[in-house]
Structure 1
Amino acid sequence: MDTDYDVVVAGAGPVGLTLACELRLGGVSVLVVERLAEVDTTIKAGAINTPSAEAFYRRGLLPALAAVQEENLERISGFMAQRQGGRGGPVTMPPRFAGHFAGIPLKGRLLDASDPDFTGAGPAGDIGFIPQEPLERLLGGRAAELGAEVRRGVELTGFEADDEGVTVHAGGSAIRAGWLVGCDGGRSTVRKLGGFAFPGTDPSITGHQAMVEMEGAEALGKGWNRTPTGTYAHGPFPGRILTVEFDGPPADRDAPVTAGELQASLRHVSGTDVTVTAVHTATRFTDNARQAADYRSGRVLLAGDAAHVHSPFGGQGLNLGIGDAMNLGWKLAATVRGWAPEGLLDTYTAERHPIGAWVLEWTRAQVALMRPESHAQALREVVAEFSDTVAGTTFFAKKISGVWQRYDAMAAPGDHPLVGGSAPDLELADGSRLADHLHDGRALLLDLADAPAIRAAAEGYGDRVSVVTAAAPGRPELAGLLVRPDGFTAWAADTPAPTATDALGGALARWFGTRTALPTGPRAA
């Protein structure tokens, strides 16, 4: 097919840029079109969860993320010191997985950090406090390094899709591509023009989030606060505020957010006489919760907020979108390059839709518990009592951190327990780790038992699967591990017996198609 690009991505936020990086690693050409001329500096997500941190770690971005986190923690430390009256001495930072559920604080000291679900992420488990804006800038640089073309100030205005591809209209030009992916946010033009069903629930709240300058801020409670008129949060940075009012959605979602509006909301919810003197960045939000019934329609796909919208409570939105991009990227690249097995692209919706549906329910539950009416408050007390236990804190922390996520449809009866879950970051005998071998975006077969039968099963997949032979001293029971490009385990075994290697062959065919005559090219660890 004669095309300008293999894939056009609408939207250069973190989701679109992550997808562009994955597509380039998969060897396909990609154009990203973005209506904004510059990176959006509006205050948005303030952290990433464990699956997102693992995804970027596996692509070699951990040092850059660690630098961003260090700067962010310094800002948090400054706010905490300010709230403590500027007293000297060390400032105690919040634990990695501490957070809140519906504004109910989780106590880090009650977290059972020894829970097995928290132990497999390796160094990625120490990364979390990454705001959206610096992440977007980092991903923009990475996409450019990989050869993705990003056109800013260019808005997608329409498209026509057929059996052979998509003609995209953007910036006054007609661009021919094999595929179009809408990563263009909750009001996605791609979703609307593509006719995707988008069922869900209507908004019932008005929320504000902003970075402001204030007089009288010392009267505000720190962290999350519930009052008879709503909920508000103050921190974890100087000037950061969030308010939630339960009297319906905003009259005009698109109107500029003014200092007067923020001040009125904050005074109403907090009951203080705080004065907002300047606004640096501000946004409105609601609890509108909707999800595309299918993430694909022919040659048009959706990812991120284009596929699902919900309130920001629990910080799931950015992470949900990054997970979409990681799952879709390698599958779409395989489809473009012609080696994808039948139905591979359909597993994108099958695997990601249930996690998106869970996020919508998770956010709806929080809104229900935050309502000031008496029945909601009675239930809130029950949840608060549960959260104030080791079991409760650990339960909520697992959900917030995302370590529970797995693709159960990947596993067949009798499969190893690791199949379908994020691959553990094994430390290999030479000191390298599993993540070090996923930087190139290819699948990875780890032969941990130096078993010729395991390596032989991968013959003919050398253009798609890297083979590494090395021991994993910390997991001596494992004989082998097949990891998809997105970091999820497709096969694992505790023995290189014929039954296990037969299952490996099936997993390779299921996810990576038909063998070729190309040499496997095993590489030593």
Structure 2
Amino acid sequence: MTTFDTDVVVIGAGPVGLTLANLIGVRGHRATVLEARQELIDYPRGVGLDDESIRTLHTAGLWERVQPFTVPHHVVRLVNGTGQVLATNNPRTQEFGYPRKHGFVQPLVDKELAAGLDRFPATELRFGHQVVGLEDRGDHVVVTAERRDAEGELTDTVTVTARYAVGCEGGSSFTRKWMGVAFEGDSPSTRWVVVDVANDPIGTPSVYLGADPRRPYVSIGLPQGIRRWEFMLHDDEPTELCDDPAFMRSLLRRHVPDPAALQVINQRTFTHHGRVAADFRKGRVFLAGDAAHLMPVWLGQGWNSGIRDATNLAWKLTAVLAGDASDTLLDTYTAERRKHASDMIDVNMAAGTVMKMGRFGGAVRDLAASALNLVPKWKSYFTELRFKPMPRYATGVVVDQATLTPGRARADFKATRRRGGKLPGPLAPFVDSSGELSPVGLQFIQPRVNTADAANVLLDDVTGDWWTLATWGTDPTAYLNDTDLELVRRHRIKLVSFMPETQRAWAERQYADAPAPVTVVGDSTGALKDWFDVRACGLVVLRPDHFVAAACLARQAPRALAALRKAASLATEPAADQAPQPLEGASA
């Protein structure tokens, strides 16, 4: 028997487990990934990559490696059985720094995620390790795995001790079954066959969702000349029928000349699922990705939803491992991620219903779509992907903007007023002029900016991957007392001043003697000014995952920080292995 220890043991080497391990490694902690297979899955699965996921890959230092296997601005068209375009999804916004939608080749991307672990000497990926046992011993976990060779022969039993374990091993998750949590939702009986071919015989880069009453289909242009088709199987068509080349040629014949000449890379059948675990945590054990939720494929959110899990969980685990927060912080993982995953499942299931309508329902749908396309507001609802629910954390590591209450955040100020509550006097005029929406719980934008050291860089390259306190047009230290400055030092909170580019040089000189370092960021595009101009705040605190944890008027900074300390269960004592360091001189 072999025994070793680590900080986090990750069960499953899919994209979620690999991303999680990279994010843990890049923040200086140890992770071990145990994978039952002898190698990564080599057949294509996911095909859609969102800007949110790319932001995470950038944080992990992997985007440059992954980018060659992607194509930006993936346009999706919903068409009916005659080829009429019912809706076009072509979002052109880049509010988070990247095009909203990309096509990608998953096996090639997964290889880069695995190779990224080689950067960290204390992090490793172990193939041929089937997890068969799991124990939570209160202050650590013990994971038992059987190591098997390429022929499937048992060669050793491996025991791993770790502070935490995360199950990322897919829908049949051993970890979820060990936790004993319900897996709620539906698994429609509809089966689909997917076919990937090389040397795309169509040659168009777009995606077509074929809402054809005769047989719904999907046609997708992917990087490296790959074309994917997916066809729905009727109830009277056995799965084995897909093994018949003549049947497969009959499916493809309406879409491509001479289907017998296609170079097939992969062919598989699958069933859509829409399920979510009742809880994502039990003690020191967590679920992420398909182990926590199964997502229908319609909107390409299975891969991306799993990456959102890894993004959320990684910074919280590393904060606890570093002694920056208590274990209570980890309770916010389920609170923040489960609702959004459930909402995404609902939207995907609804999209599937639209796709699979019969002749009568399809005719009604087509007429409705034609009418909606005549109204610009409704047309943009589909074009700009506004039907996709963006993650918004109403509970967890957030501070309500109206009341500065820790642990919750209303989406707007209307609820406060409806219930007879009054907004704090200084806040009311700004809400009246800027609007009723609060940015707390939403992801912060990422424009290109300038600093004293860099020009035209993405904002995350300036703020980094940990906490940020930023103000618009002012010195953030002007609003912080000694207790606040100690919290800033203890938790490595980066202080940032957003400025019009025309004012940057002045601010760099003005803040040179500030009591803590302030990074002055030049708003060269005007995007940051626009953001603050329509929101009732002059100060924001950004979490390590780039979500807004708190937003307030600048003079409310001490109250907001005190509330945030409670919401994030932040430690107030110095870390055991880290004595307080004197604040360095200010720098731009």
Q: TM-score, normalised by structure 1?
A: 0.81
Paired position in structure 2 for 1:492? 551
Match 2:291 to one of 306, 315, 326: 306
Q: How does 1:60-209 map to 2 (within 5 A)?
A: 60-69=61-70, 72=71, 96=73, 98-100=75-77, 106-107=87-88, 113=92, 118=93, 120-122=95-97, 124-125=98-99, 128-147=102-121, 148-170=123-145, 171=147, 172-209=157-194
Match of 2:65, SS state, is helix
* Mapping for residues 310-325 of structure 1, pairs under 5 Å: 310-325=295-310
Aligned residues: 486
**Judging changes above 3 Å, is the alpha-carbon distance between structure 1 residues 411 and 151 closer, same or farther for their aligned structure 2 residues?**
same
Aligned with 1:404 (options 370, 381, 390): 390
State the shift of 1:47 in Å: 2.4
Residue 561 of structure 2 is aligned with which of 498, 504, 507? 504
Equivalent residues of 1:39, 1:137 under 8 A apart: yes
1:61–1:176 distance in 2 versus 1, CA, 3 Å:
closer
For the Cα contact (< 8 Å) 1:370–1:376, is it kept in 2?
no
**C-alpha separation in 1, matches of 2:15 and 2:119:** 16
Structure number with higher strand proportion: 2
| Equivalent residue, structure 1, for 2:444 | 423
Kept in 2, the 8 Å contact 1:443–1:466? The answer is: yes
**Measured at CA, do residues 195 and 403 of structure 1 come closer, stay the same or move farther in structure 2, by a change above 3 Å?**
closer
Equivalence for 1:32: 33
Question: Match for residue 491 of structure 2?
Answer: 464
Cα distance in structure 2, aligned partners of 1:102 and 1:5: 51
**Is the CA contact (8 Å cut-off) linking 1:102 and 1:369 kept in structure 2?**
no
Distance 2:102 2:470 in 1: 28
Aligned AA (2:18): L
AA of the residue aligned to 2:303: L
- After TM superposition, the structure 1 = structure 2 runs for residues 345-356 of structure 1, keeping only pairs within 5 Å, are 345-356=330-341
Query: SS in structure 1 opposite 2:487?
Result: coil
In the alignment, the residues of structure 1 paired with residue 242 and residue 463 of structure 2 have an alpha-carbon distance, to the nearest angstrom, of: 43
Secondary structure in 2 matching 1:245: strand
Matched, 1:443 2:467: yes
Q: SS of the counterpart of 1:207?
A: strand
The one-letter code matched in structure 2 to 1:460 is: L
Measured after TM superposition, the shift of residue 35 of structure 1 is 1.9
CA distance in 1, matches of 2:253, 2:543: 51
Take 1:310 and 1:489, find their aligned partners in 2: how far apart are those partners? Answer: 26
Residues of 2 paired with 1:479 and 1:413: CA distance?
12
The DSSP-based 3-state class of the residue aligned with 1:472 is: strand
Instruction: Output one character per residue of 1:387-408: Cα deviation in whole Å (capped at 9) or x when no partner.
Output: 5754334323554796833213
Whose Rg is larger? 2
**1-structure distance, mates of 2:236, 2:163:** 39
Q: 1:165 to 1:29 in 2, by over 3 A?
A: same
- The equivalent of 2:521 in structure 1 is none
Q: Map residues 263-282 of structure 1 onto 2, 5 A cutoff.
A: 263=248, 266=251, 274-275=259-260, 278-282=263-267
Give the 5 Å matches for 1:13-28: 13-28=14-29
Structure 1 residue 322, shift from structure 2 partner: 0.3
Q: 1:222 to 1:324 in 2, by over 3 A?
A: closer
Change (3 A) 1:357 1:127: closer
2:132 is paired with a residue whose SS is: strand
Q: Which has the higher contact order (CA 8 A, sep 6+)?
A: 1
Residues 345 and 239 of structure 1: CA distance in aligned 2, closer, same or farther (over 3 Å):
closer
Distance (Å, rounded) in 2 between the aligned partners of 1:371 and 1:45: 21
Q: How far apart in 2 are the matches of 1:154 and 1:249?
A: 40
The runs of 5 or more residues in structure 1 that have no matched partner are 74-95
Which whole-Å CA distance do the structure 1 matches of 2:131 and 2:241 have between them? 23
- 1:358 alignment partner, one of 337, 343, 346: 343
- Give distance in 1, aligned partners of 2:16 and 2:246: 31
For 2:95 and 2:57, locate their aligned partners in 1 and report how far apart those are by CA, in whole Å: 15
| 1:280 to 1:54, Cα distance in 2 relative to 1, 3 A | same
Partner of 2:328: 343
Task: Note if 1:240 corresponds to 2:227.
Answer: yes
Task: Check 1:262–1:349 CA distance in 2 against 1; reply closer, same or farther (3 A cut).
Answer: farther
1:51 maps to which residue? 52
Alpha-carbon separation, structure 2, partners of 1:222 and 1:467: 41
Identify the range of structure 1 (268-277 vs 468-477) with the bigger mean alpha-carbon deviation: 268-277
Mark the CA change 1:213 to 1:19 in structure 2 (over 3 Å): closer, same or farther. Answer: closer
Is the 2:480–2:557 Cα contact (8 Å) retained in structure 1? no
1:87 corresponds to: none
SS at 1:395 equivalent: helix
